[in-house]
Every structure is written in structure tokens, then in C-alpha cells.
Structure 1
């Protein structure tokens, strides 16, 4: 049976619209092996001629098949089968910074919330603009939905706005976009500042407040701005260091770390020097983790709830519409400060 015959045979099912006949006909043709990856679908004009369907009906059906990740359109060439995973409702491209612990937490929750009918392909740009551009250009047009943790750089905005608003969700870092685009993002500057205000009595116990921050890493700039504003307004002795060097820990200092690598190195030095964390040395960490609840009596953290972010992102994909939300930062007060 040809593809056209298969579609015509579905016309006898009264519950199916013409658009649904076309979509189901192509899906069944894939399942039967009539269509395989690489095959070209009949042109829109051919479909109109042989089926008698309106042009907009054919376009709508082909676009739904693209949305499911079954079909890809190639400029001036037509529509081609790119997948035989017909059970998938939506094919999703998830573009993240890297597979760090909190991004892993986002991914695991996101996948669990969406379930098996959503295919998720994961890509990592490592905060590298060139890598971001290459990945984005390679995946553009091949997915029904794009969930992107963007590099906070204006250069990525034209890439992102080349995707229709209903097919793009910005997560994690906030990036200024046109009003009709959706986002579920963090805000760092104001949120971090007010969490530091909440910690002010504890911070004043220490002689110096030291933030480890480097411009050449993917640290949120808002954290640095919040720190500088806080220490200036409250006249707190402070310093910004780019890296933590082994053995550099000193009694009386409070350390604010974004990098978990530096955190573990600092804690090892505290142990080796037999310094009491939370009394002789203070520690504040960015991004929470179950390990930080346990080690050294608990590490105080300022963190977003990445599971909640993922749950909201999954709900957006299921419900469609427009979502514009800022996920709050949480302060976990523990014994390290």
C-alpha cells in the first residue's frame, strides 16, 4: 500500500479530521516500513492534488510531524523522514551549560516529569559561544521544542529568536528576550544581596569576607555585583579572589565559594589544620547539595531549587502557553557560618 492509499483509507474513520488523517497516515506508513529515515514526503502541491485537502491542512500536518521530531524540512528541497520513533509525542532539545551536579538534578527531574512520550536529547555548550553556535545551528529545525540554558551574552539572542516563541523555553540563566518568549530563570543580583542581608549578623563575626569569583568561568555576574554592593554598604572588610590556592585558609575569614571544587579544597585544608568550621573559619556556598547538608555539620548555601525549576519547565511543555517566571533563591542556614 502506498502512502497516499494509506491516508485515503483513513478517510472512512469519521472521528478523524483531514489533518489527523494525514498525520496518522504518515505515522502508520513509518510503522509499516513504507517510509524510512531519509525518505522524502510528497510535496505540499502533490498532496493537495492527489488528496484534495486544503494547502493549509497539509502544512499543519507536516508541521505537527516536525514538532514530534519525525520530519525535517530542508529549504527548497522538501520534507524528509528523520526518525522512526512514532510513539514520541514531542522531541525536545535540552541545551545546558554542563553536566554539573545541579544540572544533573534538573535533567533527572525534567525527564521524570515528562515521561516516556517525550524524547529528550541533551547537549552541552560549556559557556563557550562558538560551541553554543555550532550546536544550535546543528539542531535548529530538528526538534519540536528547545529548552535552553543560555550564555548571558547578547550574541546568542539572534540565534534564539530564530526559533518561534512557542517552541523555545529559556531556563536557568535569565536573558532579555522579546515579550512573547517564555522563561523559567534565576535572578542573582537582588536575590543574593538580600540573602546576604539576612546573614549580616553572622557575617559580622568574621574579620574578612572573601568571594572567589573569576570572569573567565560561567559564574553569574550578579553574584559579584551583589557581593560588592553588600560589603560596601555595610562597611565589611572584603576581598575578591579569582582562585582558591591550596593551604590559603586563614582563621577569622569567611569564604564565599561558587565552585564546589574550591569548596572541597578549602574544607580539606580546614580539616588538615584542625580549624573549626563555623567558628574559626566561616563558609558560604552557592548551589545546594545533599552532601552539603552533611559534611562538617552542614554548609550554609544560597541556592535555587533546580528540581522545582525542572518541574515547572516540564509543566510548560505539557500545557503550552507562555510562561515567564523567576525561580527564587533559598537560604539554607547551617553550621558553617
Structure 2
């Protein structure tokens, strides 16, 4: 009987999800039929060296879905076999980027190969989002929405309010007054930048001025700029906010730059090289979003970054566990030689 269970301790997928997937897969393959007994909690725990709490969590979720039925004094039995084992999910992202790909890949991997996951891009436009929801409003079990809207935002928020809370997951950004009962995996953009800069304050104090490069052409949450300004005011830093690093941007010693766009990062490094300004000594750099390249560039670029893979995984686990929680995604400052 334990052969129906495929539990791999090396996989990122939580073990309770692997138990659920093993049962539903065996039902679909005909290995388990209605009325068949499966291992008890103690038996499964002993067979795979799992904690009882892990097995209990999996069995509770299987029972909630009506897939298994506990019989007092006898054990657990298969209750229904009309199980697809899959979720139909529509991801509605504002744009595609390397970081969004990390979210997507982790989300799909955690849900498993039986899930159907489609992705559409609303380009931060409320009208495009409205058209997408009109087209696909009855086609999916879950709608995972990144609610970054900069055109016709009110239209988009009205549509989001109409999505049933048990089918909606907000991703990357939480909305204060929209579908309070829905799940969310979010960043707190204002608080995150303040907390990150405070953790690096001991290095920032050697610079005379802090500069946030906040693009106007590409939209980013305005809370980032608000948090940056609040930090500078609270700690008496001279500061400025500029839209880009151009070829003629004046860069001076004793300035530290917080960079969002990688094109601005490249431009700043070029200017520093031309002016023979030493990065990490004369000029400080903090870049948004970590990448393998930033780990080695200039012996390491200091970054502020959320865990994009964690965001995708957490969203998938909310679906698989039928949970309506609001979870703040991890965000931190990683200090390297550029500061």
C-alpha cells in the first residue's frame, strides 16, 4: 500500500502536498478505487519518517475535498474517484520580466504537472484587465492577479471586487479595500524600503547624499519613493529623486544611489569609471532585485530584493491548501562591496 505514495525529501514541494498528489494521482491511474483503505496516519508517518502533523495536515485537506473518509476504529478510505487532481489557474501579470518569470516558474512547479496554468498580461491597464476578465471570467478555478494599474485603475479595482474571494489571490501588492476576504502574497513597498535602508544605515552614513533613481517611463509603485523620502527625512539624509541616469547625469563623490532599472545601473557604473570614482568608497550603489550577475559584478552589488521564487511557491500553496491568508513576502538588504 505504501507504494502509492511518492515522497521525496529532496523536493521543494512540501511533504503534505506530495501526500495529496500521491493519493489523487493513484486514483486517476486506477490504483485506488472507492472503498479502498489507505495507510493510517501512524503507518504513513513510520513508512516515510514523516511527522504525524504533516500527515494529519494532508489527510485533513483530502477529507475536506471529500476524497477520503475516516472511519472510527478502522482507518481512512477512498470516498470518491471523480478527481481530476488539477487546478485551472489564470495568472494576470502586469508585465513580463526576469523576476516575474521566477514567480511563474516557482508557482507552476509547486502546483505540479497536473495543474493548468495560463498567463495573460494586462500591461497595467484597467481596460485591458477588464477585457481579459470578460473573456475568461468563467473558465478558471482561481485568478491570481498582480494589481499594478496605472491606467483606468478604478475600472480594474471594480472588476477585482466582483471576483469571488475564494477564487482570487492578489500577488505582489495588497489592496486595502478590495476583497478583504481573499488571499494575498504581497510586498509592502513603502515599509520594505525603509526597513532595508535602516539595516544598512551604518554604511550609508559615510555618504553625504542619497539619490533614488525612480523611472517615469516604466511604472513602479509610488510607495517606493514615499518610503525612501521618509527614511531620509527621519535620519536627516540629504536626498533627491531623479528619473534616470543619463550620459550627462552629474555624479559626485559621497553620493549613494538606489537603482531600480538595470539600464540605470549600467549607466551609473560607466559614469563612475569615466570619472575614476571608486564604487563602494566614493559612490555607493544599492540595486533593486538580486540576480546571479549582481553577486559577482564589481565583486558584488548590494541589493534590496524580495524572494520572487518564494512568492510563487506561497501563492501555489494557498491554492493547494484552500487557504485565505494574507502573507507578506520576505524582503531584505543584501550587503556587498558596492556599498
Tell me whether the two structures share a fold, i.e. TM-score over 0.5.
yes
Distance 1:149 1:184 in 2: 10
SS of residue in 2 equivalent to 1:120: strand
Tell me which residue corresponds to 1:246: 247
Of 147, 152, 164, 1:150 maps to 147
Tell me which residue corresponds to 1:219: 220
Tell me which residue corresponds to 1:36: none
Tell me which residue corresponds to 1:335: 337
Of 125, 131, 134, 1:134 maps to 131
Distance 1:234 1:148 in 2: 36
* Higher mean C-alpha displacement, 258-267 vs 151-160: 151-160
Aligned: 1:114 with 2:116: no
Aligned: 1:311 with 2:308: no
Distance 1:264 1:276 in 2: 15
Q: Which has the larger radius of gyration?
A: 1
SS of residue in 1 equivalent to 2:268: helix
- Listed as ranges, the gaps of 5+ residues in structure 2 are 1-32, 36-64, 66-82
Distance 2:307 2:106 in 1: 11
Whether the 8 Å CA contact 2:186–2:328 is kept in 1: the answer is yes
* Higher mean C-alpha displacement, 133-142 vs 219-228: 133-142
Tell me which residue corresponds to 1:202: 203
Distance 2:334 2:209 in 1: 21
Aligned length: 256
Structure 1 position 270, deviation (Å): 2.8
Distance 1:273 1:126 in 2: 38
Counterparts in 2 of 1:138 and 1:273: CA distance versus 1, 3 Å: farther
Structure 1 position 272, deviation (Å): 4.0
Structure 1 position 129, deviation (Å): 2.5
Structure 1 position 181, deviation (Å): 1.0
Distance 1:262 1:216 in 2: 13
Whether the 8 Å CA contact 1:129–1:151 is kept in 2: the answer is no
Whether the 8 Å CA contact 1:88–1:116 is kept in 2: the answer is no
Tell me which residue corresponds to 1:290: 292
Structure 1 position 89, deviation (Å): 1.7
Tell me which residue corresponds to 2:93: 96
Aligned: 1:302 with 2:274: no
Whether the 8 Å CA contact 1:187–1:328 is kept in 2: the answer is no
Counterparts in 2 of 1:186 and 1:154: CA distance versus 1, 3 Å: farther
Distance 1:211 1:108 in 2: 30
Whether the 8 Å CA contact 2:207–2:254 is kept in 1: the answer is yes
SS of residue in 1 equivalent to 2:104: helix
SS of residue in 2 equivalent to 1:209: strand
Distance 1:97 1:246 in 2: 30
Whether the 8 Å CA contact 1:192–1:226 is kept in 2: the answer is yes
Distance 1:87 1:321 in 2: 20
Distance 2:323 2:237 in 1: 46
- Give a deviation string over 1:16-62, Cα, whole Å, max 9, x none: 9xxxxxxxxxxxxxxxxxxxxxxxxxxxxxxxxxxxxxxxxxxxxxx
Structure 1 position 125, deviation (Å): 1.8
Of 242, 259, 262, 1:257 maps to 259
RMSD: 2.2
- Give a deviation string over 1:110-145, Cα, whole Å, max 9, x none: 111111111111111222232222222222111111
Distance 1:218 1:320 in 2: 33
